[in-house]
Structures are given as structure tokens and as C-alpha cells.
Structure 1
Amino acid sequence: MRILDGVVRPYAWGSRTAIASIQGRPVPSAHPEAELWFGSHPAGSARCVDPSGPEQDLVEVIDADPVATLGAASAAEFGNRLPFLLKILAAEEALSLQAHPSADQAREGFERENARGLALEARDRNYRDPWHKPELIVATTPFDALAGFRDPHKTVALLRELQVSELDHYLGMLAGQPDSEGLRAVFTTWLTLPEASIRQLVPAVLHGAIEVLSSGSTEFAAELRTVCELGEDYPNDPGVLASLLLNHVHLEPGEGLYLPAGNLHAYLRGTGVEIMANSDNVLRGGLTPKHIDVPELLRVLDFTPVDAAQMAPPVRMIGAERVYLTPAPEFRLSRIELDGTGLHHSSSICFDMPGPQILAVLSGAIEVRPAGGAPLTVKSGQALWITDDDPDVIVRAASARAVFYRALVPVAVSAAEEVSASAPAAVTATE
């Protein structure tokens, strides 16, 4: 096992306080810091920095012996690569509207763009690898997002409440077909409007939203405040209109949001721990100056209406471990809080599951002791890399309170459980 230093990604929408505070650095930071990556992604591999070996990129450590580090089950399923990327994400401004392809769509799109001779770093490239990108975020502060197409009947009620005559045509489209096809028609129309039409429609919508909010009585206050904020930042962007079709999701600390393939979404503000399949495939739909491929986005999007509650992952408590369950085969994420004062039972926890694991500390510090080995102390803002061939570990709080997140590969755990279930029962000798 090795201590990891993550890679800070300085995107413009990031926070100048959140990640620096977690790492114990002075605030504000010199530049916005949007994400702290713990993984082996080629664009930003974490560094192994503890004294037990030379400082190395995690990708180099894995490449040196993929089966020993990842385990046979993970390597067989996902190749000689860590299949997930774990992040701390800190948003002060909205991210772009985006969606991710399914596994089949990613594979086909990657091969298609390769056949066209598009360079991997080309601006108009959609598929930079053949992998899908399901993702899960767990809030560590109050967190807001847009995610999934809202029930069209509720969106019709929202558009009617706005009383914006410029929206009447689109309101009629959706009211006449309040289903996924109606949503597709309205979204497609808005995304392909001439810029001159957008310049007229967005201000009219913002004026209507301000009027409704000023009245002080609406069930759509959060949605309308978001439209006003986005319209101020992106006055000529059809993504402002598209936000009217999506669920506004608010998470309190500890609550999660799972985003499968085809889900149109945008994080608005807040800090959280995010885990995703290790892929770069993003189809953008607005709130960005970056390339938007409308036909490909429409091919990927799932317009099936969904409630916010349906996107919350089921949670299972295993002692001090809060496990967020998703169907993604590449990752499983859990939150663990330990008490170092000795007043409670949850002062330590033992991990004996196979496959690669990363423990990222968000608060306090932990002491990790492998069976028969010396302990390592991992501080807030650092992470620990545990390989498949590492021994079992005991994790204790090294501060009054320690909070960390654990990422692992569920296929490795499933394979080990199958082997254990098929093995003959052990016989214990007694005197």
C-alpha cells in the first residue's frame, strides 16, 4: 500500500477555498481549484509519495505488474487499467450541460471517429476512448445539480406559470405530447434555434422568472432562480432554456446522485466526492463555449422522464461503512466515519476485500496497519492506494474524528465471493 497525492485540476468553475481547506493549505488559493483526482487517468495520474518506495505515478505502478495490483478479476474484465477515477469536486459555478454514452455507444463512436482519422485531441472529437462513463457524486456540503428530464406535466405547469408569450409555441408542443417524444422535440428545437432567436427568447424567460419570483408564491422557486443565474452567465446559450426541462436536485451532505448513460445533467454548486468509470467521453448540450455535436448528443440522450428520487442510489450500512449501491461494474463507493476519542464503537474498521482500493481522507487523519506490517498515517486531502496483493488492513482514527471514502472494484469482490462459496469448508484442528 502507498500514500497518494492527488492532482488538482484548476478549471474556471472551481472553488478557491474547498480543496485547499481539505488539504490544510492557505485560503483562498491563487486560482480556482475544481477537482482533486485520485486515480491513474492519463490526463492526471496521482503520485505515490510515501517512503516505502520511489515517488511514482500511479499509472506506472499499475503498469509494472497489473495483475498483482488490480487482481485477476479486474484485469480480465477491464484490462490492465484502474477502471474508476475518484475525485473531490468543488463547484462555485455551473458546469456544462452534458451526458455520457452507454458502453455500446462509446465503443461504436470511438471506432467510427478513428475510422474518420480524427485525432484524439481534436476539438470536434466526441469519443476519446471506447468506455462508458457512469458516475456517482456524494455531497460533502449542500450540493445543487440539474439532472434528468422532469415529468413533462410538471414542466408544462412551470412554463404556464412563467406567462411568457414567446414560450407559447413550445408550451403547446409539450402540452400536446407530454412524454419523452415531446421532450425530445422541444429540446431539439431549442438547441437548434438561430442565435438571433435565442437572444430574444432567453431575456423574455428571465424577465418572466423574475416576475414569478417577485410574487413570492411558486413551487418552482429553485428552478427559476437557477434559470436566472444561468441566464446571467450564459445570456446567448440554449442551455439556459434546456434547464427548464430538467429536475433541480438538492443534496445534503451524505446524500448521493447516480447518473447512468444518457442522463443530461449539470452540477451547479457545492463540494462532493465523485467516482466514475475511467473515461473521457462527454457529449455537451450547452452552458459552455466548447464543441456541441447536436446529432450525436441526441443519439445518446435518454429523454425518459425521471424523478429526482429515482436517481438517489440505495444505501446499505455495514457497521461504520455507508455503501452507495449502483449498477456500475467499475466502482463501488462508501463513506466511513471513525471516532478517535474512544467513546464510541466505530473507532476502527477492517478491510479484507480483494482488488484495487483507494481510501481518500476528507477530514482528520487515519492510521492504516497491514497485517504484520508498519502503519501508515494518511492525512486529510491525501489518499491510500491498496493493491490486490496487499494484506488485510485495519484502519483506525488518528484524530478525534476521521472521515474517508473508500473506492473499490465490485467485480473483484464478486469473483472472490464466488471462489469462497465454491471452496470446501475449512476444518479447524483442536486439541
Structure 2
Amino acid sequence: MDRLSNTVRPYAWGSTTLIPELLGTAPTGEPQAEMWMGAHPGAPSGTDRGALHHLIAADPVRELGADSAGKFGPRLPFLLKLLAAGAPLSLQVHPDLAQAKEGYAAEERAGIPIDAPHRNYKDDNHKPELVCALTPFDGLCGFRPPVEAADFLDGLGIDSLKPYGDLLHAHPEEAALREVLTAVLSADREEMAHTVTEAAAAAEHLGGAYAPYAVIAHHFPGDPGVIAAMLLNHVRLQPGEALFLGAGVPHAYLGGLGVEIMANSDNVLRCGLTPKHVDVPELLRIVRFEASDPGVLRPEASPSGEEVYETPVDEFRLSRYVRAEGADPTDVTAPTPQILLATAGRPKASGPTGEFTLAPGESVFVPAGETAELSGTGTVFRATVVA
């Protein structure tokens, strides 16, 4: 068992206070967006034995277990994060595994540098993800039904939005959503900027369900992604609730602190709310044009006290233990690699190499098969894989 030292990424959308408040440290005044825990080469966690990605590369079977290494290869298949959004993230989708492999291979053949700003595929993996709220957490997830989206747009009373409402009423679901998103993202930028300005003013005046979109427009004035965002479901998670985001589902996080886990990938196709590259044709190839309920997840409790967030993927499995004072120790030994992250209290994680008291935001890596036990009081998130 190794205590992890983790990197905080200072992305511009990050909150200046949420991660410091969890860690009990003074804010620096700079955004602190994501704390990464894992072996992603972009910001690998450190241990007393060395960087985690180097330890895994040197002996993947010992660190990951034979089953995980055989199924996913010699790399930790998930990345765990604390995510603190102080402003909206980009509106985006992720490819499925076949699309990622195809897109990555095509860009490699084309000789596009991996760090080129117009590159879409940084690796050949998919990126399903799950976010669990630690504070009230706002996001957008999945398309509204077309008629509902049309009514929402019509409710703003903006003449230039009426054609989109008409399209949403006139066609079957997939065609309606595809045509409107295509029209929004392909519209004349100057005309669309004017429409966004009008829509933002109307949303601010109306408030209620429109209020989140006025906030988005404040951060991204004139961005077509503001109108695209209005096609999506708004959801507010309460602490302990989660969202699973599969391939092709458009989404954006708007604000709050959460624990996020994802397959170990960096593949993102952006729809808007960003100064970064938006590849409209490729995006339209990846998006799944179907209405969907956001599907708020609540954990399923087991007799051992483990509360599991069920998802349809094998690259990660997220659960939590909410340990009361005086509770018996819990054996969390597993044949797969694990990261244990404390988010409240001062629980203890122990194994053959010693006992670690974990303050909020602190974490340990447990190699596959190594004896591990939780004790003390507090909340611990457990990240592992299904092998």
C-alpha cells in the first residue's frame, strides 16, 4: 500500500475554493480544477517507491494482478479525480471504443502531431465516466425529447430560434435532434452571436429553468454552444448522487465538487462552450441523437457496508464506505488494483506496509491482491476495476 502524492490541474474553469476547502488549506486565488489520482502519463501520482505509472510499467502483473493486466493491458485502466467546477466546462461527447481506435489510427496515418490543437484523438481508448457529487453539483446530460426542447426554445420568445423549434416539432427524434444541432453549430457566427445575446437576456429575465443557461451565456458570450446546451437536460445532483456518461452522450459540468472516475483516456469531441477546436463533422459522427433521461444514480448498499455505483463498464468500479464511529474494521482486499480516497473524517487504511490516516483529499494505492483494511471514522471512495 502506497500513500499517493497527486497533482492539481489549474484549468481556467476550476473553482478557487472547493478543493482547498476539502483539503483544509488556504486558497491560492488560482483555479484548482482537478486532482488526478492514478497512472495517466499527463499527471501520474507519486509514491515513496516512485511514480505510479513507472511502477506499473516495471511489473504490471504484481501491481495490477494477472486478470486486470490480461484484460486491459499493462496500464491502470482508470483515472480517479477530484473535480471542482467554478465555471461551466466545455459541452462535449466521447467516442466509443471502435470509434476511438478508428479515429486515432486515422490521425496517426495523417501525421497529425499528438499535441496539435486540432487533433481529436489523443489515444485509442474510449472514455466512459462517472461523477459522484460531494456538494450540490450541476450539469447537463443527454438530449431532451425534441418536443420538450422545442417548447423550451419557444419559451424564450426569440424570433431567430423559431426555425429550430419548428424543426424539432416536424421530424422524428433522431433526425430532429441531428438537424437542429447541425444548424446551430454551422450557422453564421455573427448571426448566431446575436441570437445567443438575445437568448441570454431572455433567460436571465425568465429565471427558473432558464437560469443555468443565463449563467452559461455569461461565461461564453455569443458561443453557439449556449443554444446547443438548451437542447440538453439540466440536472442537479445532491451529495452522494452520481451521473454515468456513456459514449456519444453530450454533456457538460456546470459547477460543484465531485469524485470523478473514467477510463484512462483523453478523447474529447467538443460541441461548444470553449475556445478550443470544434470539429463539427467528426462531432456529428460521434453524437448519439436520441433523447435520454439523465439517470441519476444512487449507490446500492451491500451487507459489508460498501455502497456501489453500478455502471455498464469494466474499466472502473466506484463505491464508497461511510464509516460510523466505533464500526468494526472492513476488509477491502481485492484481486484487482485499488485507489482508496478519503473525502470526510480521518479514516485509516492499513496493509502489510503499515497504516495510513487519511485526511479529506488524501489517497492510497493498493496493489492487486495485497491485504487492505479500513478502520476509523469517515467516508472513503474505493476505485477499482471489474476483471
Once the two structures are superposed, the pairs formed by residues 329-348 of structure 1 within 5 Å of their partners are 329-340=314-325, 342=326, 346-348=327-329
Matches within 5 A, 1:161-310: 161-213=155-207, 221-222=208-209, 224-308=210-294
Moved more, 158-167 or 325-334: 158-167
Q: In the aligned structure 2, how far is the partner of 1:86 from the partner of 1:124? A: 26
The residue that corresponds to 1:12 in the other structure is 12
Q: Normalising to structure 1: TM-score of the pair?
A: 0.87
Which of 120, 125, 140 is the aligned partner of 1:146? 140
Letter aligned with residue 380 of structure 2: F
1:379 lines up with 2:359 in the alignment: yes
Which residue of structure 2 aligns with residue 395 of structure 1? Answer: 374
What corresponds to 2:341 in structure 1? 360
Whole-angstrom distance in 2 between the partners of 1:314 and 1:20: 26
**Given residue 283 of structure 1, which amino acid in structure 2 is its aligned partner?**
L
Asked if the contact 1:161–1:212 (Cα under 8 Å) also holds between the matched residues in 2, the reply is no
Inter-CA distance 103–95: structure 2 relative to 1 (3 Å threshold): same
Q: What is the CA–CA distance in structure 2 between the aligned matches of 1:64 and 1:183, rounded to whole Å?
A: 48
Measured against aligned partners, the alpha-carbon deviations of 1:14-55 in whole angstroms (never above 9, x if no partner) come to 1122212222212x2241100011000000001114xxxx4x
Residue 350 of structure 1 deviates from its aligned partner by: 1.0
SS in 1 for 2:347: strand
SS of alignment partner, residue 141 of structure 2? strand
SS at match of 1:335: strand
**Does residue 46 in structure 1 map to residue 45 in structure 2?**
yes
Q: Which amino acid aligns with 1:375?
A: E
Deviation at residue 373 of structure 1 after TM alignment: 5.7
Q: Provide the secondary structure at the position in 2 that maps to 1:379.
A: coil
SS state at 1:237 partner: coil
2:317 maps to amino acid: R
User: Does the alignment pair 1:83 with 2:64?
Assistant: no
Task: Give the residue type in structure 2 aligned to 1:20.
Answer: P
Partners of 1:159 and 1:183 in 2: CA distance: 13
Deviation at 1:369, TM superposition (A): 2.6
Contact 2:269–2:279 (8 Å) recurs in 1: yes
Equivalent positions of 1:96-115 (< 5 A) are 96-115=90-109
SS at match of 1:120: coil
Show CA shifts across 1:87-115 (max 9, x none).
00000100000110000000000000000
| Equivalent residue number for residue 408 of structure 1 | 384
Partner of 1:349: 330
Are the aligned partners of 1:102 and 1:133 in contact in 2 as well (CA < 8 Å)?
Answer: yes
Q: Which moved more, 1:60-69 or 1:99-108?
A: 60-69
Report the residue type matching 2:373 in the other structure: I
SS in 2 for 1:337: strand
1:61 aligns with 2:55: yes
How far apart are 1:129 and its partner, in Å?
A: 0.6
Distance 2:192 2:353 in 1: 64
Computing the radius of gyration over CA atoms, which structure comes out larger, 1 or 2?
1
- What is the alpha-carbon distance in structure 2 between the residues aligned to residue 314 and residue 32 of structure 1? 29
Greater Cα shift, 204-213 or 174-183 = 204-213
Q: Is the 8 A contact 2:93 2:268 kept in 1?
A: yes
SS at match of 1:274: strand
After superposition, the CA RMSD in angstroms is 1.4
The percent of aligned pairs where both chains have the same amino acid is 43
Asked if 2 retains the 8 angstrom alpha-carbon contact of 1:47 and 1:58, the reply is yes
Rounded to whole Å, the distance in 2 between the matches of 1:128 and 1:136 is 20
**Residue 21 of structure 2 corresponds to which residue in structure 1?**
21
Partner residue in 1 for 2:35: 36
The aligned counterpart of 1:317 is 301
Q: Deviations over 1:187-221 (max 9, x none)?
A: 100001111111221122123324433xxxxxxx2
Q: Any idea what SS the aligned residue of 1:159 has? A: helix
- Asked if 2 retains the 8 angstrom alpha-carbon contact of 1:338 and 1:348, the reply is no
Count, aligned residues: 386
Q: CA deviation at 1:178?
A: 4.9
The 2-side partners of 1:305 and 1:169 are apart by: 20
The answer to whether the 8 Å contact 1:314/1:326 transfers is no
Cα deviation for residue 335 of structure 1 reads: 1.4
Q: Could you tell me how far 1:364 is from its partner in structure 2?
A: 2.1
SS for the counterpart of 1:375 is strand
Report the Cα offset of residue 352 of structure 1.
2.4
**Structure 1 unaligned blocks of 5 or more:** 214-220, 412-431
| Alignment-derived partner of residue 113 in structure 2 | 119
Q: Conserved in 1, the CA contact under 8 Å of 2:241 and 2:299?
A: no
Q: CA deviation at 1:126?
A: 0.5
Q: Unaligned stretches of 5+ in structure 2? A: none
The question of whether the paired residues in 1 share the 8 Å contact of 2:197 and 2:221 is answered with yes
State the alpha-carbon separation in 1 of the partners of residues 9 and 117 from structure 2.
19
CA distance in 2, matches of 1:236, 1:373: 55
